Amino acid sequence: MKIYLNKILLIVLLIGASFAADCKPVIAVQNDSIIQFVFCSDLHFGLTKPVFRNKINVSAAEVNDAMLAKMNELPSLLLPNDNGIAAGKKINGIDAVIITGDICNRQEKDIQPASVSWKQFEEDYIGHLQLKDSKGNKTKLLLTPGNHDISNAVGFHRPMQPLTDKASMIGMYNLMIQPAVLKTEKTYDLSTDKIHYSKNIGSIHLVFVDAWPDSAERVWMEKDLRSVSSTTPVFLFTHSMPDVEARFFVNPNGDHSINEKDKFENLVTETFKDGSSVEEKTIIEQKAFAAFIQQHQNIKAYFHGHNNSTEYYNWTGPDKNISLPCFRADSPMKGRYSAKDETKLAFELITIDTVNKKMTVRECLWNTNPADPNTVLGWGISINSAL
């Protein structure tokens, strides 16, 4: 009888232990080898969207706040069951939100000054960003300037009101470079106060370049990369695509000014070498950048905006002698496709496996049902890339 009771007691204890184990709270833990970024571009504060969620003439501030709300929902969502990294798993931590320029629209006719647009950006992306990284720290906000931001500061060949407004450039510089003494309207100098910097997140080296990696930026990049192991994957973030437009360069004509006749915008430091017209192709400039990529084989990806559509492609350079994976972002205000069909509005989620050196970039369709803002975001195209 005693043996029988002991057996019953043992069974009860085993069942109880099993039940207790099953009832332990499930804690979602992000693998330390996985890092994740949100990537978007061309926010264009100052513009209005003709139609958005059944409303007309909606401000960029409202549209961007709606996009940011969807970004804030990411940690609770599952990745799609595709063939990408961490497929089907909970997203959890976001290590950085990266925006590659045109934060403020150019202050041409009927467009508000950059100082007003920058305040709206701060209200949205600094005030309302609620994301945390995998360790529970506030997600980093990482910015580069676009051609509109720079033109607001240096002037443009069409009338602007005011003629110049450095607000977004000063704001970005102070946030990203964090000088000991903050720059002001009087002390900020566009020719020397470049918004370029680098960050190590996990085992990835992120390089942020001012507008486009021209010869002056490559001198700075060369120095930066000296401290980076040749086996460390490097990502470049900038505004323009690799096959940059001629208008970005310093005017090669006359007094090199920004003027209505020549239409060069003087956005970078380098003077245009391929000719005297903005209609020329940038062959010399692109070849020099392609040579830089050849010398730095650990540059594994190039992220940019400017053309306002989701696109994943390989840039081969003018001589077709390289293959640089490139990732282009949609614009919430000027999307090539999403401007006509708001269900195509998108930002990108970058998921990186640092141990196996692989990356998946997924398109996040954040407005699939304009009639119902509470609709969970959808998943668009995605691509895997070796690092």
Mind giving me the DSSP string for 62-113? HHHHHHHHHHHHGGGSBPPSSSSTTTTSB-----EEEEES--B----TT---
The residues, ordered by sequence, that sit 6+ positions from 127 with a Cβ below 8 Å of its Cβ are none
Give the separation between CA 348 and CA 362, rounded to whole angstroms.
6
The answer to whether 61 and 3 have CB atoms below 8 angstroms apart is: no
At residue 60, φ and ψ (nearest 5 deg) are -60, -30
**Listing from the earlier edge strand, what are the strands of the sheet with 234-237?**
197-201, 204-208, 234-237, 299-304, 324-328, 311-315
Give the separation between CA 291 and CA 64, rounded to whole angstroms.
38
Please give the pLDDT value at position 32.
73
The string of pLDDT tens digits covering residues 187-234 is: 999 999 999 999 999 999 999 999 999 999 999 999 999 999 999 999
Token pair belonging to 5:
């009771």
The string of pLDDT tens digits covering residues 238-258 is: 999 999 999 999 999 999 999
The answer to whether 15 and 25 have CB atoms below 8 angstroms apart is: no
Token pair belonging to 218:
């490559």
Please give the pLDDT value at position 25.
35
Please give the pLDDT value at position 180.
97
Q: What is the pTM of this model?
A: 0.91
Low-confidence residues of the chain: pLDDT under 50: 1-30
Give the separation between CA 223 and CA 151, rounded to whole angstroms.
27
Give the separation between CA 359 and CA 313, rounded to whole angstroms.
14
Please give the pLDDT value at position 31.
62
Beta-sheet pairing, 96-100 with 34-40? parallel
Give the separation between CA 346 and CA 66, rounded to whole angstroms.
12
Which is nearest to 353 in space by CA: 204, 165, 146? 204
> All domains of the chain, ordered by start, with CATH?
31-386 (3.60.21.10)
In 195-334, beta strands by DSSP E: 197-201, 204-208, 234-237, 299-304, 311-315, 324-328
Q: What is the CA radius of gyration of the chain?
A: 24
Which amino acid, residue 86?
A: A
Residue 136 CA: distances (Å) to CA of 76, 151, 202, 378: 14, 38, 15, 25
Which is nearest to 218 in space by CA: 287, 153, 264, 280? 287
The neighbour count for residue 356, using CB atoms within 10 Å, is: 11
Which amino acid, residue 192?
A: T
DSSP 8-state secondary structure symbol assigned to residue 124 = I
Give the separation between CA 216 and CA 138, rounded to whole angstroms.
33
Secondary structure in 3-state letters for 253-290: CCCCCCCCCCCCCCCCCCECCCCCCCCCCCHHHHHHHH
